[in-house]
């Protein structure tokens, strides 16, 4: 199959990468540019981290360059540092010998075509030679990219048995580029979705986060996770997307594609997802705060909004856009939040005009009485922000009112 005429014949490769390739080939080792950077160049999205595949064994690569890092020697990967300190991965041509669906044992001493044949999808099984402006594309990846198709290399069931993470990668690439998944590839993914439970939580989390950050449409990403059966295994809290979101609301929720906030759009409870995916403590704590809520103040009255802000604490910045996304902002209470912040009205103990030390000096007993008094003063300030002055609060503390 010939590539479509608007698929480029030549792509720009950063000079440091070309220099590494030149040295390898000068030593007699066939070398090509491979990987995601080659795929992304077809979408006019060039970047610097171009990987290289070579006939050179790992030890030969390390011997040819002054500064190297043993990135994954058992898999043939050496990191070569260029003159600017940037690391470029160089991997020996390889083929899989055995695999358990999570990890593969590889053998070296094979051809470039053998190396490309072990890759997951046709759009990732391409190689480019910048000195000759030559493509090696045995599985018609350029044509599939132009046609908008995610297709497994060879037999899809075999590709997924080799590494079940490829199922999640198919979902991510389809959502990232707005592509369709080839029917045979899709059916194989659905048939083996239950086997993704053997993957490590960390690998699944990385795919979920990468998908959130790269998808053209989060709805499309989540729908694919649900339809494939992967969500039932890893994120049973996930709800398929509902009616179309308003154009104004969804970008607010997914600004900077924050994974915790975006997950809360589709999953409840949110914290259960991050615990299962072994998220960081910070991610889990944020998700727990979102789950606790309440999701919005009882009204747009400034007093109610201040009390809600005090109750939910740091979750304000997550709950507010989520409410906008749900359309639960009809009384314009988010604007009141902004006004309260602009006026610097206190909603936490730390924002009071007095401290525990001030109360001790004013004669309040040390120990739990200090905390109780600060809570009482905050309660008064939430009702009336004008009371948040040192004089007024010390008077309130002394009166016990």
Assess if residue 189 is contained within a domain.
no
Cα–Cα distance, 298 to 261 (Å, whole number): 22
Cα–Cα distance, 89 to 70 (Å, whole number): 10
At residue 38, φ and ψ (nearest 5 deg) are -70, -45
Domain boundary (90, 116, 147) is at: 147
* pLDDT band at 247; cut points 50, 70, 90: very low
Assess if residue 301 is contained within a domain.
no
What is the pTM for the complete model shown?
0.86
Place of tokens 């402006």: 133
Q: Residue 400: what pLDDT?
A: 63
Assess if residue 316 is contained within a domain.
no
Cα–Cα distance, 264 to 89 (Å, whole number): 36
Assess if residue 162 is contained within a domain.
no
Domain boundary (119, 147, 175) is at: 147
Assess if residue 311 is contained within a domain.
no
Domain boundary (114, 147, 180) is at: 147
Q: In this predicted structure, which of 107-116, 133-142, 344-353 has the lowest mean pLDDT?
A: 107-116
Q: Measuring CA to CA, which residue among 87, 85, 102, 95 is closest to residue 52? A: 87
pLDDT exceeds cutoff 60 at 1: no
pLDDT digits (tens, 9 = 90+) for 197-233: 999 999 999 999 999 999 999 999 999 999 999 999 9
Residue with the bigger pLDDT between 341 and 84: it is 341
Peptide bond preceding 294 in cis form (omega within 30 of 0)? yes
> Which two three-digit tokens encode residue 286?
């944020």
Assess if residue 319 is contained within a domain.
no
Q: Which helix (H) or strand (E) holds 340?
A: helix 333-342
Number of H helices, E strands in the chain: 21, 11
Provide the number of structural domains found in the chain.
2
pLDDT, the chain, mean: 90
Ramachandran class of 309: left when φ > 0, alpha when ψ lies in -120 to 50, beta otherwise: alpha
Assess if residue 359 is contained within a domain.
yes
**Residue 56: which domain range?**
1-147
Q: In this predicted structure, which of 97-111, 155-169, 205-219, 275-289 has the lowest mean pLDDT?
A: 97-111
CATH number for the domain that contains residue 82: 3.30.460.10
How far apart, in Å, do the first and last CA atoms of the chain sit? 84
Assess if residue 132 is contained within a domain.
yes
């Amino acid at each position: 199959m010939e590539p479509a005429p608007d698929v480029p014949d030549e792509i720009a490769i950063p000079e440091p990468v070309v220099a590494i390739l030149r040295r390898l080939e000068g030593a007699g080792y066939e070398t090509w540019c491979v990987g995601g950077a080659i795929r992304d160049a077809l979408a006019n999205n060039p970047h610097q981290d171009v990987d290289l595949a070579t006939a050179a064994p790992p030890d030969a690569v390390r011997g040819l360059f002054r500064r190297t890092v043993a990135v994954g020697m058992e898999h043939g990967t050496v990191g070569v540092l260029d003159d600017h300190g940037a690391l470029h991965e160089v991997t020996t041509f390889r083929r899989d010998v055995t695999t358990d669906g999570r990890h593969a044992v590889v053998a070296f001493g094979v051809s470039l075509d053998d190396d490309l044949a072990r890759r997951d999808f046709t759009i990732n099984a391409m190689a480019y030679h910048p000195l000759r402006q030559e493509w090696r594309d045995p599985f018609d990846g350029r044509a599939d990219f132009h046609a908008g198709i995610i297709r497994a290399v060879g037999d899809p069931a075999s590709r997924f048995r080799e590494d079940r993470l490829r199922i999640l990668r198919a979902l991510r690439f389809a959502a990232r580029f707005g592509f369709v998944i080839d029917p045979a590839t899709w059916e194989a993914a659905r048939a083996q979705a239950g086997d993704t439970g053997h993957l490590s939580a960390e690998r699944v989390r990385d795919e979920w986060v990468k998908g959130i950050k790269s998808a053209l449409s989060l709805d499309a990403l989540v729908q694919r996770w649900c339809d494939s059966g992967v969500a039932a295994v890893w994120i049973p809290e996930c709800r398929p997307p509902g009616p179309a979101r308003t154009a104004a609301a969804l970008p607010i929720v997914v600004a900077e594609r924050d994974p915790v906030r975006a997950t809360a759009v589709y999953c409840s409870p949110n914290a259960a997802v991050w615990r299962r995916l072994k998220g960081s403590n910070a991610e889990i704590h944020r998700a727990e705060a979102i789950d606790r809520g309440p999701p919005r103040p009882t009204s747009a009255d400034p007093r109610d909004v201040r009390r809600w802000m005090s109750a939910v604490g740091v979750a304000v910045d997550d709950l507010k856009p989520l409410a906008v996304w749900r359309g639960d902002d009809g009384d314009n209470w988010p604007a009141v939040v902004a006004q309260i912040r602009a006026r610097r009205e206190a909603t936490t103990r730390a924002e009071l005009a007095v401290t525990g030390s001030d109360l001790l000096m004013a004669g309040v007993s040390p120990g739990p009485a200090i905390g109780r008094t600060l809570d009482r003063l905050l309660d008064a300030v939430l009702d009336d922000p004008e009371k948040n002055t040192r004089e007024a609060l010390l008077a309130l503390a002394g009166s016990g009112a």
